[in-house]
Structure 1
């Protein structure tokens, strides 16, 4: 399973290098990349964030893999603040991890992966969170859990469950697993689709202080409208990074 999990964390390396899926290189820094992920986890994770079938550009003026921020509306490309050498070094650290658990931890904390989108046709999506969703689904599928068994679970801040944690922050973490251990949770649904808002709305308890904080009220209100999973998870990260009272 370790090799399969490493495939999950390396399967979209071509999006860092600007190559098409069909022409993507087979190795990067001496490791195999751009391989198919088992169990259909990649396709299911993609379905959580973008429409399936023939793709059309949703932002005609944006045609590269640098992510557009839903929070600011700006491209993540910053030639002055983030050099190509830095990008290459940080990408290498993500892809060459020898342990799948190490790779998972690096993706959770990655800044460079957050700068890229999952699809040029849907530039607000996040390569970082798409990849983490792929890993979480693959780990669950490998233990014979069906998609219909899975829940979005709210964990304490800083708690990381190998492969299944898809977001970790100072105030809460989010995980995909079948058993919530009595923690706040909601079922993902009957099939993979862009259902973030629906699942967030159905959490048995919310981790935000919407009764006391205007910032939490704003964040919660927007999360109740975003449909794409990778976009929503990235939005939480961007919002928390901006929040002036953090």
Structure 2
């Protein structure tokens, strides 16, 4: 499990959590400000972690608009098909951005990204509106932490932890029933895990299917079986994780 990083690693993690702030402010990358609230933002992520995380959720090559009538950074819900702009009506997105950007402790920033609902309203690419900026950012942070520790992508695995278990930087999804993280397979023999493979690609469905023990009660719960079936169809990592998030917050598990 990850410990508190050294100073240089801490800076790299903060870069990871701040690298796509321009998508929250609605700016194109080429014209985005390099500062927000006096803090550097929108910087390149070290170790190629941004492009690797993008490959987990988006197809390679020149992006194409997949939903013709939708060209904004507001995410489309896989549950309802509706824009998530309405979910942040009455909130203060700028205050949320300021809170995320000005946090100087990467461990606290990781927790903030995990629990923040406002950032769930945004996609990671206007071309792929069902993707999630929140979970793309968490994947980037997890990869940066693993790469900083000397682990290659081909060593990594999706690991299932007990509910409300938070491993700094590496946990990418959390709720009261189970948590998911990205860690080296060699360190996870006491937990159910499935390797990510030799290179990053849209492998959520196949990785989820290879877990030796599933966190959903598919043997006894009909809704869990439906949820599991849907998760076995989604290839994009950020889309699948956000789908879990939406279902959880929608109360469908209660």
- TM above 0.5, one fold? yes
- Residue deviations 1:5-60 (CA, integer Å, cap 9, x gap): 00000000000111111111011111100000000000000000001221100001
- Residue deviations 1:148-204 (CA, integer Å, cap 9, x gap): 000000001011111000001110000000021421110001100000000000001
More helix by share: 2
Instruction: For 1:214 and 1:206, locate their aligned partners in 2 and report how far apart those are by CA, in whole Å.
Output: 14
* Runs of 5+ consecutive residues of structure 2 not aligned to the other structure: 1-8
Normalising by structure 2, we get a TM-score of 0.94
Alignment of 1:161-240 (within 5 A): 161-178=167-184, 179-240=187-248
Normalising by structure 1, we get a TM-score of 0.97
Corresponding residue for residue 136 of structure 2: 130
Instruction: For 1:122 and 1:244, locate their aligned partners in 2 and report how far apart those are by CA, in whole Å.
Output: 25
**1:87 partnered with 2:93:** yes
* Runs of 5+ consecutive residues of structure 1 not aligned to the other structure: none
SS at match of 2:158: strand
Alignment of 1:1-246 (within 5 A): 1-78=9-86, 82-83=89-90, 86-178=92-184, 179-246=187-254
Instruction: For 2:20 and 2:12, locate their aligned partners in 1 and report how far apart those are by CA, in whole Å.
Output: 14
Instruction: For 2:169 and 2:79, locate their aligned partners in 1 and report how far apart those are by CA, in whole Å.
Output: 27
Runs of 4+ in 1 over 6 A off after TM superposition: none
Cα distance, 1:245 vs structure 2: 5.0
Cα distance, 1:86 vs structure 2: 1.1
Instruction: For 1:51 and 1:244, locate their aligned partners in 2 and report how far apart those are by CA, in whole Å.
Output: 30
Instruction: For 1:38 and 1:24, locate their aligned partners in 2 and report how far apart those are by CA, in whole Å.
Output: 19
Cα distance, 1:243 vs structure 2: 3.3
SS at match of 1:77: helix
Aligned residues of 2:247 and 2:253 also touching (Cα < 8 A)? no
Aligned-residue Cα RMSD (Å) equals 1.1
Q: How many residues align?
A: 244
